[in-house]
Amino acid sequence: MTLLKSNFTDPDAITDTELARATIEGLLARLPRGVLLLPGRENAAASAPGIFYSEIIAGNIGYVRLGSLNAANLQAMDKTLSTFAGKKANALIVDLRASNAASDLALAADYAKRLCPKGKIIFTLRKPAARQDRVFSSDRDPAFRGLMMVLADGDTAGAAEAIAAALRFYDKALVIGQPTAGRAAEYSDFSLPNGKTLRLAVAEMISPEGRSLFPEGVKPDLLVEMSMADKRQIFQLSGEKGMGPFLYEAGRPHMNEAALLAGTNPEVEAAEAAQQRRGRAPEKPPAHDPVLQRALDVLTSLEVYQKR
């Protein structure tokens, strides 16, 4: 800094104001999960809360997509878990791929209480300047006992990341999908004179085994790639069609035994070529959820193994 100030050809470009501005820009770039500069509250677009969704898959596997961690979805989760018991669901897939940060951390912890053992720590909130950590523990018996899988990705943020870590620690649940957002922290907003808002991570979430979840998040046990656009399209359509149509990738049809062995399909390839000549693009394959399919494959394999 001293060399720049004393030798740069344009001294006005390295004033204290410019250095302060460069420092802030550098911190925003280097601490993307911990420091955010937001537009004014009146201009910030509020995202619609994700809704809760559930169904029974393959006859005995419960599937719950928690959505936003709010009171309405928690009530829906309680109702669903009670019905799963009557339907003899012996495995559960917890989909956290649409679960975002919640300002009410106690409410977010209530979700994990439905699935974690009573008396166990779900997560701990640790502030650098605080004398004592804030601990969130389960005070009730779990509503489900059995095999469990957790689905997560970059849309899994905040307390949802802590829930994923707790389910993996206590229920031995496999986390399948992609790394979480790395925003497992409590944030505070500060209004700036120019109308914008500075959002800072002021406390980090600690997993039950004592590991900080900020800013690294939760890494999956089984990495499965899937585009966010495809996932959000499937979630939107599942309200009408259920998740069944998106579980298994549609195979390319083969017209004869030779084509099947060769892995080709001359008839279909010829039809696609004709479509291209007429200026029509080949039909896009139907949407497919490889993350959920992988969870089902693992559960099915475990069930077969346990019956041997």
Distance CA 164, CA 11 (A): 52
Q: In 242-260, which positions are buried (b, 16+ CB within 10 angstroms) versus exposed (e)? A: ebeebeeeeeeebeeeebe
- pTM equals 0.85
pLDDT above 90 for 278 = no
Predicted confidence (pLDDT) per residue in 53-68, tens digit: 999 999 999 999 999 9
pLDDT above 80 for 269 = no
Going by C-alpha positions, the residue among 48, 115, 116 that lies closest to residue 78 is: 115
> In this predicted structure, what is the pLDDT of residue 55?
96
Predicted confidence (pLDDT) per residue in 95-106, tens digit: 999 998 777 899
Cβ-based neighbours of 201, under 8 Å, separated by 6 or more: 33, 34, 35, 183, 185, 186, 187, 214, 215
Cβ-based neighbours of 232, under 8 Å, separated by 6 or more: none
pLDDT above 70 for 87 = yes
Predicted confidence (pLDDT) per residue in 229-238, tens digit: 999 999 999 9
Model confidence at 254, pLDDT cuts 50, 70, 90, reads very low
**CATH topology for 53-228?**
2-enoyl-CoA Hydratase; Chain A, domain 1 (3.90.226)
Model confidence at 280, pLDDT cuts 50, 70, 90, reads low
> Looking at residues 267-286, what average pLDDT do you find?
64
Cβ-based neighbours of 247, under 8 Å, separated by 6 or more: 57, 288, 289, 292, 293, 296
> In this predicted structure, what is the pLDDT of residue 197?
93
pLDDT above 70 as % of the chain: 85
Range in 27-31, 90-94, 257-261 with the lowest mean pLDDT: 257-261
> In this predicted structure, what is the pLDDT of residue 213?
97
Predicted confidence (pLDDT) per residue in 181-216, tens digit: 999 999 999 999 999 999 999 999 999 999 999 999
Going by C-alpha positions, the residue among 256, 274, 273 that lies closest to residue 265 is: 256
